[in-house]
């Protein structure tokens, strides 16, 4: 499903952006989508969090812990023991 965003910009900026988009043979909409997707991809914290969990998991495996050990530790902490 797509959604619409209305952005107000200076006419000179709009004209320059339209011209530059055309040089790339892209519409203004295509170029804006591309720029937004790139921005979200570069600023998303999700890949960093996933990498951190992978690093933690690797470190725990090196120490000999198994997934079942982690589940036991979580239960222990949650029970307050």
Secondary structure of the chain as H, E, C letters:
CCCCCCCCCCHHHHHHHHHHHHHCCCCHHHHHHHHHHHHHHHHCCHHHHHHHHHHHHHHHHHCCCCHHHHHHHHHHHHHCC
Q: Tens of pLDDT along 18-72?
A: 999 999 999 999 999 999 999 998 888 988 899 999 999 899 999 999 888 888 8
pLDDT of 48: 87
């Amino acid at each position: 499903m797509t959604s619409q965003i209305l952005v107000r910009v200076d006419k000179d900026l709009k004209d320059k952006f339209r011209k530059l988009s055309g040089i790339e043979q892209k519409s203004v909409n295509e170029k804006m989508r591309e720029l937004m997707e790139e921005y979200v991809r570069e600023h998303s914290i999700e890949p960093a969090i996933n990498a951190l969990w992978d690093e933690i998991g690797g470190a725990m495996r090196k120490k000999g812990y198994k997934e079942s050990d982690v589940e036991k530790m979580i239960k222990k902490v949650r029970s307050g023991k």
